[in-house]
A and B are shown apart, each in its own frame.
Chain A
Amino acid sequence: MLNKWKLDTWITLTFGRDQAATCNTAHNKTPMSPHTISLTVNKQAIIVEVDPSETLAQLLRNRLRLTGTKIGCEEAECGACTVLVDDEPILSCVYPAVRAQGRRVLTIEGLAPNPRAGELHPLQEAFVTHGAVQCGFCIPGQIMTAAALLREKPHPTGEDIRKALKDTLCRCAGYPTIERAIQAAAHALRTGEPVPPPTCPPSSEPLYAVGKLHKRPDALEKVTGEAKYTDDLHFPGMLHAKVRRAGVPHAIVQRIDVSKARALPGVAAVLTAEDIPGECNHGLVVYDWPSLIGEGERVRYVGDALAIVAAETPELAEEALALIEVELDPQPVISDPVQARRPDSPKLHENGNLLKHIKVRKGDPAKGFSEADIVLERTYHTATTDHAFLEPECAIARPTEEGRLEVYVGSQIPYADRHQIARVLGWPEERVRVVGQLMGGGFGGKEDIAGQIHAALLAVATGRPVKLLYDRHESLIAHPKRHATQIRVKIGARRDGSLMAVETELYGDTGAYASLGEKVMTRATTHSAGPYEVPHVRADCYAMYTNNPPAGAFRGFGVTQSAFAIESMMDELAERLGMDPVELRRKNALRVGGVTNTGQVLRESVGLLECIEKVEDEMRRRADGDPFEPKTPPHAPHLRRAWGLAVAYKNTGLGGGAPDKARAEVELFEDGTLEARTSSAELGQGLVTVIQLIAAEALSMPPERVRVLVMDTDLTPDGGPTTASRQTYVTGNAVRMAATVLREGMARTLAERYDRPPHEIRFIEGLAHVNGHKVPLGEVARMMKAEGREPRVLYEYWAPETKPLGQGGDMHFAFSFAAQAAEVEVNTLTGEVRVLTVIAATDAGKVINPLGYLGQVEGGVMMGLGNALTEHFILEQGRPFTDRMARYRIPSIVHAPEIISIPVEHVSKDGPYGAKGMGEIVSIPTTPAITNAIYHAVGVRIDRLPVDQEQIALALAARSAR
């Protein structure tokens, strides 16, 4: 962070000629040489005094309050902060504000020709209509970069777009859609015609609202820069917090002395473990994670917090951190789960290092292996990875006049935040209100507590609002990761390909604290024999504590890891059997009537075979000859291309006996609009659109008239955690039921009023048809009120009951399925790998929101691609090496292959309109499809992620030397 922005001077901003704004701030202390610069910002001339070390991003965001320009890294890596200076795109996070002297600065807020009149630039419009906007955090940067491109190249090629957006990252990663949106805008700009609509197909059987193309309700504010994320909020008198972290992976705290930090002028509070009024620990399942580590206590990872500071400015808080004296007694580091299980390893928690031994038992594996004609065994390793959501964590806690505390935060589980915050404060939960904010991506990484509790403690201690914003470095160090997992797979099959037995042994690195480790590793284990009917299965998983950063939820929830292992093994088996890998999968694939590894009989909605068929057809249509045979493209003798295929399944919902319920409320207003409310989280995935469409469908009213309110523990009922791909299904059902009950109530009122039986009343496009009358819904709301009935329904939906692991029966109430084929190109000289095409068939039941669906498929595939090729959170004895965005690389548009999405709609009887979860399944088969393709292309088997081009190159070189 190039923070050092200083508000300790009087700043005069002159807007145009007559408006003058004066920003007052605290007193000055360091002699600096401020500069008065004049520039235009969004066509307005301004004169402003800037601090020598202020960046343009800070000037724009903090002082001009143009918060549409986003900060994702402050390392010149992500492009979120892109603005135009004299029409050229630059990174405002590394652009000294002084340098803007005499320049024309254009930000997202000023892009449209007449933004105040609500006009949109064609790029903004195209991003909205094409569904290129997901979480929205990267979008201002994408649009500004694209605007500069189109100015220079009105007729861009795909190559031009990829070059221009090369370093403008999108973690939601709808890169192909972004490219199409830019092309559509280019067309409109060139021709003056309207922006061409997207070509995304609707559901195969669209209903009234569900299954058709709709704009995201929050897309508009996200393309104009109006959308507010937590760091965009500002409260008068707000303090800034920083956390003093241990910086060592394992130690006992000898001494913490905060007296010097407390004495620093401008510091409002410095707190340590001693100052915690309530319980110290937080956690989602196990309360094992101390909010602050006190003297005599154990540090378990580098990110452990020792003290927290709130000060008038972020710089002062930083200064105070440096004044905190800490003595630590270093302890031996446990850096991997296998080591953690050794009896002589130090114990990190009271009960030892084993978080959980998870077992799956089906049939008699010994018998199965003895009856097999062929038995293979191999051990695979997957890497620790980071969510790298583009918006770093931010929390603001604000005491209210009534003695409550409001916490503004982008959180996947607002009610769990409330519970954990209240617990540490020692308050009743109702005294805390969590006001969920727009999130710039989550992917499972915003389920745990980040800065919420620290901000709350400091706000309560000081009585002032406190903002705790992580920079990218802190984000990478502190929050839970994807579990690195070692997976041994032993598989036995008959000569005809029938699977006889699968045995797996997993070691999951859950890091310092449990987080959702047990659940994640359970999913990894139960899915570790793949979506196949296997008569004999034995799986054992050891989820181990180590001194690495905690590991928790991450899109795919453990199944990403085990799918890589089993799907690699299936290809090896096919080769040994001399069988087509697609045929082997088809032969063993789960189908209706099949029994999963945990003994669940699948009674409906198993679209796996159709996914395989669809993908296979498309792959064979595109491949010239056998897709699994290497091809050498013309004029490139050093390149080899081939396809690979993988399949997967993933549960929808919590399952395993956990009560899975959601509450939702709908309310009809006299103006004919409806509001749907639930605390469930919108992290970019598009839940608000899904809720909007489901409510509109249930009431046969236009979706534009449905408002969706989410994530507020005061105003919205508990929708449960946004995890396990459960929201469309569980909260979707709650909304549907609430709307249905409301509809029945409306029908009753109308029936009485018009004296007709309720079943004669029809609801069509926002009007109630009764006895030849067409009554607007707002009118119905009025009638209900007049009768003393509230046009409002709260519904608590309970998903079908599930059974805990080990008891057989239904462990989950629904599964989604997928098959993907990837075509790769391997450079046989350097070992470099490029993914050319991914065909993704997904059975997530009914397609509710086609644009959102496509966004999930593209983003999921890109994340799976990153998991295979670019992402590796490297730890050296518990210390992160990849502690900056420059070292933790996520896929950019240049990595994006052509992505073909094929929806397979095997509706689930109990899902809302037949939908199941889809957020995770789309990401799971991608990695093994890519690594299997690499094997087909060059014969090198990847058993450790991410793919190491060096390993490929050297293996090929050794082979040709032989």
Chain B
Amino acid sequence: MQLWRHYHLAQSIPDALRALAEAEGPASIIAGGTDLLLDLEQGRRSPVHTLVDVTRIEAMRVVEIRNASLFVGAAAPLNQIVASPLVAEHAQALNEACALIGGPQVRNAATLGGNVAHALPAADGTIALTALNAQAEIATQNGRRLTPLIDLFLGPGQSALNPQEEMLTGFLLPLRARGEASAFRRVMRPQGVAIAILNMGVWLRREGDRIVKARISVGPSGPTPRRLRATEQALCGRSPTSQVLAEAAQTLLREARFRTSRHRATTTYRQHVAAILLEETLLTAWERAGAG
């Protein structure tokens, strides 16, 4: 059985969109292929007619400042993101998340676009981007549009993108201002599937000894990646003392919907870890924000 019949190495965004639209059967974008090829091979996804490879499209591989935002190309390999001084400066959480994915061989192929489009509730890159308030740039035959990243997800493994007409070209992240910083942390288990038991991204703005604004994302806490808005609120205007952190953790546990995953973690353990991650990730971002 052929898992796909045709492989198109796209040279440009319009070329890729055309190939998707004109395919004689089901078509799919392939970036690094580190999720897609295994899904096809292991039968988690039905065979397709055409694969459209986007890794040669230069416009999708850049990491640069664009219109006072940080643009990270959807097809930039994760290693390139990890090595980018711009990402280290403006998006520490993203840098940390990407550095934790796979080994160097996987990171040389895997992309942020794939990480997001795969739409898993605890993908590390996605959780970091969520805390960083990323916008996704989507290209269609009719042009490009920007969408808040968080609106891209419908359910586990299901993105809102129309696979035959739309593709992610990159992500726009606000530049980091003075007093702002982010961090990403996760907890793994040494046995079984190598997906985080829990991961968390935190972004905050600090004024003196107070948090004036915060964004917190956590996975997996429901079918899609999500922000913890009540917890963010609970922290605003306050100093992250242990008292405040404990209260925020309580809010988090009310707000997040942790579940038991077989052979990975129980709800109780996830709740336990969430409080720990909140403190660790938040304080890391807090320290960074204070340092300038």
A167 engages B9 (CB within 8 Å): no
Q: Which residue of B lies closest to A891 (CB)?
A: B190
Q: A91 contacts which chain B residues (CB < 8 A)?
A: 105-106, 109
Q: B51 contacts which chain A residues (CB < 8 A)?
A: 52, 96
B191 engages A168 (CB within 8 Å): no
A563 to B5: give the CA distance in the assembly, Å. Answer: 54
Q: Which of B30-38, B90-98, B116-124, B141-149 contacts A (4 or more CB under 8 A)?
A: B30-38
Number of A-B contacts (CB under 8 A): 131
Knowing A89-B105, A830-B276 touch, does A101 contact B9 (C-beta < 8 A)? yes
Knowing A52-B5, A98-B7, A870-B191 touch, does A881 contact B263 (C-beta < 8 A)? yes
Within 8 Å of chain B (Cβ to Cβ): is A872? yes
Q: A263 contacts which chain B residues (CB < 8 A)?
A: none
Within 8 Å of chain B (Cβ to Cβ): is A35? yes
Interchain nearest-CB distance for A53 vs B (Å): 6
Within 8 Å of chain B (Cβ to Cβ): is A33? yes
Question: Residue-by-residue, is A933-962 near B (CB-CB < 8 Å gives 1, otherwise 0)?
Answer: 000000000000010011001100100000
Interchain nearest-CB distance for B94 vs A (Å): 18
A315 engages B108 (CB within 8 Å): no
Q: Which residue of B lies closest to A953 (CB)?
A: B272
Q: B187 contacts which chain A residues (CB < 8 A)?
A: 830, 832
Q: A886 contacts which chain B residues (CB < 8 A)?
A: 193-194
Knowing A874-B263, A889-B192 touch, does A96 contact B2 (C-beta < 8 A)? no
B42 engages A164 (CB within 8 Å): no
Q: Which of A71-79, A131-139, A185-193, A566-574 contacts B (4 or more CB under 8 A)?
A: A71-79
B272 engages A957 (CB within 8 Å): yes
B266 engages A82 (CB within 8 Å): no
B104 engages A52 (CB within 8 Å): no
Q: A79 contacts which chain B residues (CB < 8 A)?
A: 103, 105
A870 to B190: give the CA distance in the assembly, Å. Answer: 5
B191 engages A889 (CB within 8 Å): yes
Within 8 Å of chain A (Cβ to Cβ): is B268? yes
Chain A, 309-329, CB within 8 A of any chain B CB:
315, 318-319, 322
Knowing A164-B104, A889-B194 touch, does A75 contact B38 (C-beta < 8 A)? yes
Contact of A53 (CB < 8 Å), options: B2, B262, B265: B2
Within 8 Å of chain A (Cβ to Cβ): is B111? no
Decide if the interface of chain A is mainly helix, strand, loop or mixed: loop
B106 engages A167 (CB within 8 Å): yes
A954 to B30: give the CA distance in the assembly, Å. Answer: 42
A185 to B51: give the CA distance in the assembly, Å. Answer: 41
Within 8 Å of chain A (Cβ to Cβ): is B254? no
Within 8 Å of chain B (Cβ to Cβ): is A884? yes
B272 engages A2 (CB within 8 Å): no
A2 to B4: give the CA distance in the assembly, Å. Answer: 11
Question: Residue-by-residue, is B119-141 near A (CB-CB < 8 Å gives 1, otherwise 0)?
Answer: 00000000000000000000000
Q: Which residue of B lies closest to A98 (CB)?
A: B7
Q: A75 contacts which chain B residues (CB < 8 A)?
A: 38
B6 engages A869 (CB within 8 Å): no
Within 8 Å of chain A (Cβ to Cβ): is B232? no
Question: Residue-by-residue, is A831-853 near B (CB-CB < 8 Å gives 1, otherwise 0)?
Answer: 01000000000000000000000
A318 engages B1 (CB within 8 Å): yes
Chain A, 136-178, CB within 8 A of any chain B CB:
145, 148-149, 163-168
Interchain nearest-CB distance for B104 vs A (Å): 6
Interchain nearest-CB distance for A242 vs B (Å): 13
Interchain nearest-CB distance for A470 vs B (Å): 15
Within 8 Å of chain A (Cβ to Cβ): is B55? yes
A318 to B2: give the CA distance in the assembly, Å. Answer: 11
Interchain nearest-CB distance for A824 vs B (Å): 13
Interchain nearest-CB distance for B280 vs A (Å): 8
A319 engages B104 (CB within 8 Å): no
Knowing A830-B187, A954-B268 touch, does A887 contact B192 (C-beta < 8 A)? yes
Contact of B41 (CB < 8 Å), options: A2, A88, A165, A874: A2
Knowing A74-B41, A872-B191 touch, does A90 contact B109 (C-beta < 8 A)? yes
Q: B37 contacts which chain A residues (CB < 8 A)?
A: 2, 94, 96
A882 engages B192 (CB within 8 Å): yes
A889 to B189: give the CA distance in the assembly, Å. Answer: 10
B109 engages A94 (CB within 8 Å): yes
Within 8 Å of chain B (Cβ to Cβ): is A1? yes
Interchain nearest-CB distance for B274 vs A (Å): 11
Pick 17 A–B contacts, CB within 8 A, sort by A: A32-B2, A52-B5, A52-B51, A88-B79, A89-B105, A91-B109, A101-B9, A145-B105, A167-B105, A168-B105, A830-B187, A874-B192, A884-B42, A889-B190, A889-B191, A889-B194, A950-B265
Apart from A4-B1, A164-B104, A166-B103: 16 A-B pairs, beta carbons within 8 A: A2-B3, A33-B7, A52-B6, A75-B38, A79-B105, A82-B105, A88-B108, A89-B108, A94-B33, A98-B7, A145-B104, A167-B103, A168-B103, A881-B263, A953-B273, A954-B268
